[in-house]
A and B are shown apart, each in its own frame.
Chain A
Amino acid sequence: MILLLLAFKSLRSRIVTTSLTVFSIALSVMLLVGVDRVREGTQKGFQGTISHVDLVVGARGGSLPLLLYSVFHLGTANNDISFASYEHFRDHPAVKWTIPFSLGDSFHDFRVVATDDNFYDHYQYRGGQSVAFSAGTRAEGIFDVVLGSDVARQLGYHLGQQITLTHGIEGSFLNHKDKPFTVVGILTRTSTPVDRAIYITLYGDEAMHLGWEHGAPPLVAIPASQIRKEDLHIDQISSFLLATKSRISTLLLQREINTYKPEPLTAIIPALTLEDLWSVLSYADVALSLVSFAVLIVGLLAMLTALYTALNERRREVAVLRAVGLHARQIFTLFVLESTLISAVGMLAGLTAVYVLLFALRVPIETNFGIPLAVVGISTRVAIYMVVVVVAGSLLGCIPAIRAYRNALVDGLNAG
């Protein structure tokens, strides 16, 4: 106990060196744990985006792009699928429900998602939470629009406001000025990509593009007031989410969709595709972790240097402690305690900083980069890191401690 007090007081008397050392260790722990937490946070965030969806179906193509554009609204859909194929599987006996998506338009960098009532009825995230409204109702009319919570908050829109959607994505000069939409609902915050999307009906999407069959605005536009649902015919959608009645039929259904004769389709199991994504990203994770480890080693070496250089001017102190009756091995313990304290405090400071930053930056990261980031607890890996940092600190502390021990024996009461 007296040794702990001595170690603490001694470190405090060298407050500048001590805090710099603690800071460098904290920084490296922050990097090390930060990389790991962001990795797990993104995984959890992505995994929480949809739940109870067994298959994601789109045009024939890569499974990862399909998942990214359908669920996370990242990237673009290359090909559409026919509404007839969608209807075929929507009415398939093994299917419980489906959510169709038609993507391609944007509004102030937010994606426009055309869907139907099934989205509000069936879409679930974070293990069973449904989308809810903070104001208004779901989009029913052709020119109705529902805003995700981030969209409404960032643009400051309210119910009843009229908005014009942009054709295509990102800074397109083509817009749908002739067909303004009215905000009828605002969703509550979900912390998923839903917050950054704008929801219209499939009819609305169709109406907006009436006469755009060649990818350019029609020469003679049909006025919005004259468009009725009955006149609109939905031909294509981008993709759809699907839940089966029994999980067992998922694989059979996936095979059936992938070999569907009338149209080349791709059906993916979202969880498996996410696993593929993580295995791709694990290289980056390993590289970043290695860099963090290197920084940790530098931090620990900085501590070693600081403790070692202080040894000479502390010979006098050691002689006094020996005169008071401290054993040479207690001198050793005192020095090891100092390095252990430094690394423990540095470790805790780094860990705290990670969580403070994660908590503070979660929303900006999600808003600006579209990466859902869950706040995750301490994993086994982080626990191992924590132990490693403190143990490595103590072990490195043995080097000056051994030196101090030897000095104590050689100097006896003569030092100074």
Chain B
Amino acid sequence: MPDAVHMQNVVFGYEPGNPILQIDDLRIAEGKRVFLYGPSGSGKTTLLGLITGILQPQQGTCEVLGKEMTRLSMSARDTHRGSEMGYIFQSFNLIPYLSVRQNIDLPCRVHERRRKRIIAPTLGQETIRIAERLEIAGVLDRGVKKLSTGQQQRVAIARAVIGRPSLVIADEPTSSLDTDRRERFLELLFEVCDEANATLIFVSHDRSLMTRFDEQISIADVNHLNQVRMVQA
């Protein structure tokens, strides 16, 4: 099975001469649900920045969904991210001045490729279809400020999976939810990712969820610099 993500000999630092991430080899196979965990400050978000192409490694190669990110221009990486990846933040996922519907269909309006991959005949119908799956169809025309945290996170899922991206990345998406809602959130996320045939990278420090995933990766195991530092500490 081809890799969704394949990083080799990657070195990255926010300041030159002070690398904080060094990865010899990291593979995430296509279609897998991967649980990425590690303590805060271990470089989880930095790793996600490299995968999404927001950041560029100083050394090494980083192939994501068949494209070598280090060889792409910044705007080509932006386009690649927007049309092939869905991203769910920990909180405050939504554009405050857009309605729920406009928040969900935003990626399809920005990227033609995602719009072409929708399942329903029209974008409006696709939005409703996904919203129904995520039990938020009733709030589609509301302002996002009136939603509960749980509803907001489900709107974020809808936006991440609309137009069937190949890779869905969720950065601590459940940390603002209570335990009951966490389970339901995860179920829904799995359902819609399966439907979209998307690889899922789920980042969390909450290991109670990790058994539900196909693969578990500890950042501490992957990032050699982190290990060194921890040993030193």
Q: Which residues of chain A from 324 to 376 have a CB within 8 Å of any chain B CB?
A: 324-329
Q: Judging by beta carbons under 8 Å apart, are A325 and B111 in contact?
A: yes
Q: Which residues of chain A from 294 to 332 have a CB within 8 Å of any chain B CB?
A: 316-317, 319-329
Cα distance A326–B81 in the bound complex, in angstroms: 9
A7-15, A58-66, A88-96 - interface stretch:
A7-15
Q: Judging by beta carbons under 8 Å apart, are B52 and A10 in contact?
A: no
Given A317-B95, A320-B93, A327-B74, A2 and B45 contact (CB-CB distance below 8 Å): no
Q: Judging by beta carbons under 8 Å apart, are A413 and B87 in contact?
A: yes
Q: Which residues of A contact B159 (CB under 8 A)?
A: 324
Given A12-B97, A329-B75, A414-B45, A323 and B89 contact (CB-CB distance below 8 Å): yes
Given A13-B96, A416-B92, A324 and B82 contact (CB-CB distance below 8 Å): yes
Q: Judging by beta carbons under 8 Å apart, are B78 and A328 in contact?
A: yes
Q: Which residues of B contact A317 (CB under 8 A)?
A: 95-96
Q: Which residues of A contact B171 (CB under 8 A)?
A: 413
Select one of A6, A319, A326, A416 contacting B78, CB under 8 A: A326
Interface size on A, residues (CB 8 A): 23
Asked if A168 is at the interface of the complex by the 8 Å CB criterion, the answer is no
Q: Judging by beta carbons under 8 Å apart, are A323 and B52 in contact?
A: yes
Chain B: minimal CB distance from A17 (Å): 13
Inter-chain CB contacts under 8 Å: number: 69
Cα distance A316–B152 in the bound complex, in angstroms: 15
Asked if B54 is at the interface of the complex by the 8 Å CB criterion, the answer is yes
Cα distance A327–B80 in the bound complex, in angstroms: 11
Asked if A412 is at the interface of the complex by the 8 Å CB criterion, the answer is yes
Given A323-B52, A325-B107, A10 and B45 contact (CB-CB distance below 8 Å): no
What 1/0 flags go to A145-161 for Cβ under 8 Å of B? 00000000000000000
Q: Judging by beta carbons under 8 Å apart, are A322 and B78 in contact?
A: yes
Q: Which residues of B contact A320 (CB under 8 A)?
A: 89, 92-95
Q: Judging by beta carbons under 8 Å apart, are B79 and A325 in contact?
A: yes
Cα distance A322–B79 in the bound complex, in angstroms: 10
Cα distance A13–B79 in the bound complex, in angstroms: 28
Q: Judging by beta carbons under 8 Å apart, are A13 and B109 in contact?
A: no
Return the chain A residue nearest B99 by Cβ.
A9
Cα distance A274–B141 in the bound complex, in angstroms: 63
Select one of A2, A13, A327, A413 contacting B89, CB under 8 A: A413
Chain B: minimal CB distance from A295 (Å): 30
Q: Judging by beta carbons under 8 Å apart, are B78 and A325 in contact?
A: yes
Q: Which residues of chain A from 13 to 44 have a CB within 8 Å of any chain B CB?
A: 13
Return the chain A residue nearest B160 by Cβ.
A323
Select one of B49, B94, B110 contacting A413, CB under 8 A: B49
Q: Judging by beta carbons under 8 Å apart, are A13 and B97 in contact?
A: yes
Asked if B106 is at the interface of the complex by the 8 Å CB criterion, the answer is yes
Asked if B48 is at the interface of the complex by the 8 Å CB criterion, the answer is yes
Asked if B139 is at the interface of the complex by the 8 Å CB criterion, the answer is no
Asked if B55 is at the interface of the complex by the 8 Å CB criterion, the answer is yes
Return the chain B residue nearest A413 by Cβ.
B54
Q: Which residues of B contact A316 (CB under 8 A)?
A: 92
Q: Which residues of B contact A414 (CB under 8 A)?
A: 45, 49
Q: Judging by beta carbons under 8 Å apart, are A327 and B75 in contact?
A: yes
Q: Which residues of chain B from 3 to 48 have a CB within 8 Å of any chain A CB?
A: 45, 48
Chain A: minimal CB distance from B138 (Å): 22
Cα distance A416–B106 in the bound complex, in angstroms: 20
What 1/0 flags go to B102-141 for Cβ under 8 Å of A? 1000110111000000000000000000000000000000
Cα distance A324–B87 in the bound complex, in angstroms: 7
Select one of A6, A323, A326, A329 contacting B87, CB under 8 A: A323
30 A-B residue pairs with Cβ-Cβ distance under 8 Å, sorted by A, are A6-B95, A6-B98, A9-B98, A10-B97, A12-B97, A317-B95, A317-B96, A319-B89, A320-B89, A320-B93, A321-B95, A323-B81, A323-B89, A324-B110, A325-B78, A325-B81, A325-B82, A325-B110, A326-B82, A326-B110, A327-B75, A327-B79, A328-B78, A329-B75, A412-B49, A413-B48, A413-B171, A414-B49, A416-B89, A416-B91
Given contacts A13-B96, A325-B110, A414-B49, 15 further A-B contacts (CB under 8 A): A9-B98, A10-B97, A13-B97, A316-B92, A322-B54, A323-B89, A324-B82, A324-B110, A326-B110, A327-B78, A328-B74, A412-B49, A412-B54, A413-B49, A413-B54
User: A: which residues have CB within 8 A of B?
Assistant: 2, 6, 9-10, 12-13, 316-317, 319-329, 412-414, 416
